[in-house]
Structure 1
Amino acid sequence: MHSDELLAQVAALPALPGVYRYYDAEGGVLYVGKARNLKKRVSSYFQKNHGGTRIGHMIGKIARLDTTVVRSEAEALLLENNLIKTLAPRYNILFRDDKSYPYLKITGTPDRLPVTKEGALAMPAAFPRVAYYRGAVDRKHRYFGPYPSAWAVKESIQLLQKVFRLRTCEDTVFANRTRPCLLYQIKRCSGPCVNLVSPQDYQRDVQNAEAFLRGEAQSVLQALEQRMMEHAEKLEFEQAAELRNQMSALSKVLHQQSVETASDKDVDILAVRVQGGKACVNLAMVRGGRHLGDRAYFPSHIEDAAALQEFDADEAAPVQPVEVQVLEAFIAQHYIGVPVPSALITSHPVMPELVEALSQQAGSRIGVAHNPRGQRRLWLEMAEKNAELQLARLLAEEGSQQARTRALVEALDLAPDNLDTFRIECFDISHTAGEATQASCVVFHHHQMQNREYRRFNIDGITPGDDYAAMRQVLTRRYARLAQAGRDTPDATPPEDAPEEVAAQAQDEPAGDVQVEAVADPQAAAFAEAAESAEAVGDAGKLKKPKVGGGGSAQRLPDLVLVDGGRGQVSMAREVFAELGLDLSVIVGVEKGEGRKVGLEELVFADGREKTYLGRESAALMLIAQIRDEAHRFAITGMRARRARVRVGGSQLEEIPGIGAKKRARLLQRFGGVRGVAAASVEDIATVEGISRELAEEIYRALH
């Protein structure tokens, strides 16, 4: 039964296009949908008895409704997928936001490069550098990509070195060279650092390299051939031979890369496969006419979302297959905030409204083809095969993990309500002789590690090196609030399918608030309005990631708590759980075996049971070792980062590209610490040995 207020709100909806959002009683977002007619679409949810279906289960949870009216269906589609990515609803097809693609960077811009006279000292800024780059782009440099992997970028850099002999060294290395390096000796660099190539010739090589990256390889070959003939006519045979070798290297690269389709400069190929309740979208990238590789994406909430979209489909259009729904969801979510190539090749047809929305966002017409010919057909077949292989690999891995989870439950004689929601949390302590003590908590459920729910805890106020006190502190901080909540509402148990909390990343850095500003773009304004309304009702858990180490950030107590340690650590955990009134039987210590050898670990129980050895080949022990090792890795990396911050004066300088240990030490020594560096001007920073003007500007921007 729904409240009269909610039903009255539904009855008052306008017959206009827009986006609607359903919330449960706790403020969690259940579903985000779009509609040509809000009144007709939303009313249909509340006019029928859906029984015990997936739709009925979701509709029964609806406690509140929000809507946003837009001007067109294309705007509604863009807003819908912005909100899906931001709010992570329980019943929408959702792809993880892991679009951190690498780029190939060529430093400087042609109109800002300094002019160097013949014979003058070589200036780094006059000879652009080619480099691997990941992060936000700016107008100070030229960027090519994105590339599907770091390997693809580095391969492209090697090609540019082989054909055009561009430099890859840092500016500080360049400025201090007195003789050419090994790359010059093996003909991978033209030696600009010691004036072995003129600025004009080097700039010509840079221009040719950029044309090659844009897919204009044939025009580059023609220009090289023309220059070679000019040198030959002037009897400058050495220069002509150099150009001949360059043409030969470029021709070989083109032959190896099979670049015969000059029209296909930038293309994305998208293939989808669905099997066993799982889906895989394989994205292959062609940049500058070269196939650079692919990347697989696995969405969540497939079955729930497919059932809802079948109900939610427009009466005028037939229900789309699950493959099409997954593909359209990927395209709509993936290309938010990412450059869209001029052409997409898809394994299934997508709706015209989606193509229109993409074109609006890109500012130019996007071509989409699902039945290509020639080279494009070969690319699509390769992407389809890769999607099939990646999905088979995922299903095999999940089957193995499910078997391990079941083996662990049986070995420990546990009886979880649902094996799929069986939750394990594991703790480990890490420090160096008592310095920079940190505790880690890693989470395993749904048969896999959930790195978005990992937590680190900075341990303070204890005797350095006291691992038992550190374990007491982390367990108390982790479970005190959950224990209190359980005492306040003893009969309240969260449902099995409660929407999962969007937790902080493994780096433990909470995301900032959603800023609502006055914007000219109506679609952006609608998104800001929708985000503001979601935050206003306490849904900040979806819009703002909670801070780390806050104690009860988990939704519920785990079914099993693993402690990396023997009787001493388990005794400390037992004391904490006894004080909090929690079940002692869930605590299990992982005690290292003889000689600390892997496979000889024994399990120590807090409830008085005898120690157990599961056996080297036990699937349960394999799972425990996997989780324990992940907790150890997570603790070690956090401890090392914290120790480095303590020793060198903060992590801000560490995170700036080009700042190594020596430069960081010089900066801290010169200005007396990070605050002194932050208070210094660009000119002052540039006076430090090894710090160029460009790097000084980077440091200033990073600290401000």
Structure 2
Amino acid sequence: MVQVHSDELLAQVAALPALPGVYRYYDADGGVLYVGKARNLKKRVSSYFQKNHGGTRIGHMIGKIVRMDTTVVRSEAEALLLENNLIKTLAPRYNILFRDDKSYPYLKITGAPDKQGFDSSGGKPAPSAAVFPRVAYYRGAVDRRHRYFGPYPSAWAVKESIQLLQKVFRLRTCEDTVFANRARPCLLYQIKRCSGPCVNLVTPDDYRRDVLHAEAFLRGDTQAVLESLEARMMAHAEQLEFEQAAELRNQMSALSKVLHQQSVETVSDKDVDILAVQVQGGKACVNLAMVRGGRHLGDRAYFPSHVEDAAAVQDFDDAADAVAAQPVEVQVLEAFIAQHYLGVPVPAALITSHPVADSLVEALSLQSQARVAAVHNPRGQRRLWLEMAQKNAGLQLARLLAEEGSQQARTRALVEALDLAPDHLDTFRVECFDISHTAGEATQASCVVFHHHAMQNREYRRYNIDDITPGDDYAAMRQVLSRRYAKLAQAGRDTPDATPPEELDVPAGEEQAVEAVQEAPGAAVPLVAEPAVEAATAAPAAPAKRAKPGGGGSAQRLPDLVLVDGGRGQVSMAREVFAELGLDLSVIVGVEKGEGRKVGLEELVFADGREKVYLGRDSAALMLVAQIRDEAHRFAITGMRARRARVRVGGSQLEEIPGVGAKKRARLLQRFGGVRGVAAASVEDIATVEGISHELAEEIYRALH
């Protein structure tokens, strides 16, 4: 097969400079195929177009290239940072891609140590939350006014650490508002988990020492903490203050017990990440274990996508550079390190199951502005940590393969039970609809998507349903199906002999990412945040978009199966809509609840006249149908509740008024008891609210009437 590319593209390749940089390949629909970096752009990119690659994986990718973008940088480290920022932003089809996970949790101690205003006089002033810092679980952006320790691999690890600090150092965990209104100590004081600062049962100076010791413990300076406690205990004993000495003895005993349980007495490492990778059956798992302050906090597993395709392209690049091909495990590990640490603090030491490139470690050091070391053949305690991470990676990968096999079996069972004939089992696509409202209020419809043997939450959509009789579920179903598939049907009529072209959003963040690296070489490239699925609400007649392999979007083609949560009534409404649009009726299936609405007794109702089908309580096909149906119900009801809450408090009406911000809106609602009260108030009454001028009061009155 001869690769055919436009003269314009080949001319662009010929004009590339022999400089380091990053290149992106695009297909005819604007989708990103591959993002790569090179020490020599001209040599690397030219190698793709110099010969026929046949029907190989690399040949299939090159045959799809119609456009190319390149960015020249000043060093290989800059190229690596930009490459992986673009991979995370654009989700190319032929790169190893790790899904963005939720932000890591931290342990927070409120206040800055140099701004606490501790009173060392030993007196007992009125307790202040600023004087007695609080320890808390935290997830989000870091604020310099407070101190943060972590990140931790899970919420459980943070909460366990907080419990340790309560046992040993007895720091408070209550909210500031609770602290300020206590008249007597709470239960935590009674069970010796808090020193009672809210009622002055500990002096600010003593509490400050406990805070400093807790911070030292979290940093791993445990020996220094024990020595300080011992010195204070001996000083109290010499002054015959035996009660205070006994308190410190108990504190030392509790700390020693914790250290023994954590097995860190002889460990010199403070902050270390241990990374182990396992590859099997075309799937990979990277297990990340965290050690913070010398304490092993637990681990987390990550599963990349596009492993096989990306490995084929990487092997081609290595051959073009005349270097030895890297094992797949190394490729996966390096991809994880490069992508994961773009937005996460890098510890001083990385323990890896396989050796990684020096250029990658150099880029991490450049980004974090501190020396980072990577060790792949550790000894002693580090080796034990690595062996544990490798074992966990193998267990997690085995679990994934078993689950995927089970899910694929469910998909196959459903296809066979309904006598469907998809082009390929992996591309079998189901869309399921559900209606949710409260007595006709805040009606919303949901559409959830299942394909590639999994729920694709990035493709979920919500539809606000208006202009119907409240509570009319049939009219709501008609509206959502019409809006979902009207443009698809129109595209089919406009081009009856061809597949409608895919509609793709322009990849967001690419230009910003390029500019960020060019302006601040070596710095971490800011990531583009992905909109939350929960906030997505489709516009009327929103076009359905095709999901690119491994990416988000909705389907441009008709799904293989359209599920509606309901029986004959809802199916009849769906049949009417599809008949009007000229779409295939055989794809519509209703999920009718069985006798007593019991789970496992559901029956499937068909729009094309077939008899109802009962799959059986233990049917794998019914399990999959129930999973998709329940997800549609969950997604609909959460959206409906959020919309209902906005309507009831009236925030959405007030938000639309120019000049009414969050504070003024809160004052209005508090003063008048809700939006109805604001609407019933006169202009003069509204103007009496703090911050509301007479002109703004008139504007508010007009907007609400």
Change (3 A) 1:427 1:274: same
Q: Is 1:468–2:464 an aligned residue pair?
A: no
Change (3 A) 1:349 1:468: same
1:439 and 1:456 in contact (8 A); partners too: yes
Match for 1:327: what amino acid? L
2:527 and 2:215 map into 1 onto residues whose CA distance is 41
2:289 and 2:297 in contact (8 A); partners too: yes
2:514 and 2:98 map into 1 onto residues whose CA distance is 29
Corresponding residue SS for 2:22:
strand
Residues 334-391 of structure 1, C-alpha deviation per residue, up to 9 Å, x if partnerless? 0002100000000000011100000000101101000000000000000000000000
1:232 and 1:16 map into 2 onto residues whose CA distance is 71
Q: Is 1:417–2:423 an aligned residue pair?
A: yes
Corresponding residue SS for 1:125:
coil
Change (3 A) 1:492 1:267: farther
- Matched with 1:145 is 150
Residue 492 (structure 1) shift: 3.3
Match for 2:280: what amino acid? Q
Change (3 A) 1:35 1:370: same
Correspondence list, 1:168-567, <5 A = 168-313=173-318, 315-493=321-499, 516=512, 522=518, 524=520, 548-550=537-539, 551-553=542-544, 554-555=554-555, 556-567=557-568
Change (3 A) 1:544 1:185: closer
1:181 and 1:632 map into 2 onto residues whose CA distance is 42
1:519 and 1:525 in contact (8 A); partners too: no
Change (3 A) 1:113 1:515: farther
Residue 545 (structure 1) shift: 13
Corresponding residue SS for 1:283:
strand
Corresponding residue SS for 1:430:
strand
Q: Is 1:2–2:8 an aligned residue pair?
A: no
> Which has the larger displacement, 307-316 or 79-88?
307-316
Residues 508-536 of structure 1, C-alpha deviation per residue, up to 9 Å, x if partnerless? xxx9867749978636579999999xxxx
Residue 228 (structure 1) shift: 0.5
Q: Is 1:629–2:630 an aligned residue pair?
A: yes
1:423 and 1:559 in contact (8 A); partners too: yes
1:240 and 1:624 map into 2 onto residues whose CA distance is 66
User: CA RMSD of the aligned region, Å?
Assistant: 3.0
Residue 491 (structure 1) shift: 3.3
- Matched with 2:19 is 16
- Matched with 1:79 is 82
Change (3 A) 1:413 1:456: same
Corresponding residue SS for 1:126:
coil
Residue 436 (structure 1) shift: 1.6
Residues 211-244 of structure 1, C-alpha deviation per residue, up to 9 Å, x if partnerless? 1001111110110000001111111111111000
Residues 655-697 of structure 1, C-alpha deviation per residue, up to 9 Å, x if partnerless? xxxxxxxxx98883148779x9xxx9xxx89xxxxxxxxxxxx
2:106 and 2:137 in contact (8 A); partners too: yes
Change (3 A) 1:520 1:44: closer
Percent of aligned pairs with the same amino acid:
83
Change (3 A) 1:543 1:3: farther
Unaligned runs of 5+ in 2: 545-553, 655-664, 679-685, 692-705
2:105 and 2:139 in contact (8 A); partners too: yes
Residue 400 (structure 1) shift: 0.5
- Matched with 1:598 is 599
1:278 and 1:399 map into 2 onto residues whose CA distance is 12
> Which has the larger displacement, 574-583 or 418-427?
574-583
> Which has the larger displacement, 186-195 or 553-562?
553-562
Q: Is 1:59–2:62 an aligned residue pair?
A: yes
> Which has the larger displacement, 403-412 or 514-523?
514-523
2:367 and 2:522 in contact (8 A); partners too: no
Residues 7-53 of structure 1, C-alpha deviation per residue, up to 9 Å, x if partnerless? 11111111111111000111110000111111111111111101111
Residues 558-615 of structure 1, C-alpha deviation per residue, up to 9 Å, x if partnerless? 1100000001111111111111111111000000000000110000001111111111
1:502 and 1:545 in contact (8 A); partners too: no
Task: Normalising by structure 2, report the TM-score.
Answer: 0.88
Residues 92-119 of structure 1, C-alpha deviation per residue, up to 9 Å, x if partnerless? 0000011411011111112222345722
Task: Normalising by structure 1, report the TM-score.
Answer: 0.88
Change (3 A) 1:187 1:501: farther
Residue 646 (structure 1) shift: 2.3
> Which has the larger displacement, 93-102 or 323-332?
93-102
Change (3 A) 1:638 1:543: closer
1:74 and 1:6 map into 2 onto residues whose CA distance is 27
Residues 263-290 of structure 1, C-alpha deviation per residue, up to 9 Å, x if partnerless? 2111000000000010000000001100
1:514 and 1:544 in contact (8 A); partners too: no
Change (3 A) 1:519 1:618: closer
1:637 and 1:643 map into 2 onto residues whose CA distance is 10
1:600 and 1:61 map into 2 onto residues whose CA distance is 48
Residues 164-222 of structure 1, C-alpha deviation per residue, up to 9 Å, x if partnerless? 00000111111111000000000000000000001111111011001100111111011
Matched residue pairs, number?
Answer: 652
Unaligned runs of 5+ in 1: 504-510, 533-539, 654-663, 686-704
Residues 280-316 of structure 1, C-alpha deviation per residue, up to 9 Å, x if partnerless? 0000000110000000000000111011110011524
Residue 435 (structure 1) shift: 1.6
1:632 and 1:545 map into 2 onto residues whose CA distance is 14
